[in-house]
Amino acid sequence: QLHLVESGGGLVQFGGSLRLSCEISGFRVGDYAIGWFRQAPGKGYVGVACVSPTGVGYYGDSVKDRFSISRDNSKNMAYLQMEDLKSEDTGVYYCAANWNPPPETCTIQPRPGQYEYWGQGTQVTVSP
């Protein structure tokens, strides 16, 4: 069982930056891939980025030149550094954990239930 808590969201101007944090508690945190997902108002979840247990990152096409995902297994933390924010980045950002993915991999297009644990989300609003 894992517990995830996001922080770092807020209101930011177009072109600004934010750093989201995901604090993870539980057993064998280092065996989980961590993903960040966004839900815009009235829309479904969109995979933004993920990081494998060993720190290999994968990104959605719309963010790969602007966002950077990382993790610190010694602190049980994951981070999403967001630069050059745009209006379409607005939404609630969730971090989620997927146990024991294939080596060096993670996915931002998961099967239903593939990410077993989710945080409560943090709101990011990008103003024009």
**Mean pLDDT value across the chain:** 96
Average pLDDT score over residue span 11-19: 98
Angle, vertex CA 113, rays to CA 116 and CA 96, nearest 5: 40
Burial 80-112 (b: 16+ CB within 10 A, else e): bebeebeeebbbbbbbbbbeebeeeebbbebee
- What's the pLDDT score for residue 30? 94
Which pLDDT belongs to residue 97? 98
pLDDT for residue 103: 87
Torsion-angle region of residue 100: left (phi > 0), alpha (psi -120 to 50) or beta? left
Using one digit for the tens of pLDDT, what is the confidence trace for 41-83? 999 999 999 999 999 999 999 999 999 999 999 999 999 999 9
Under 8 Å between Cβ of 95 and 34: yes
d(CA 21, CA 77): 7
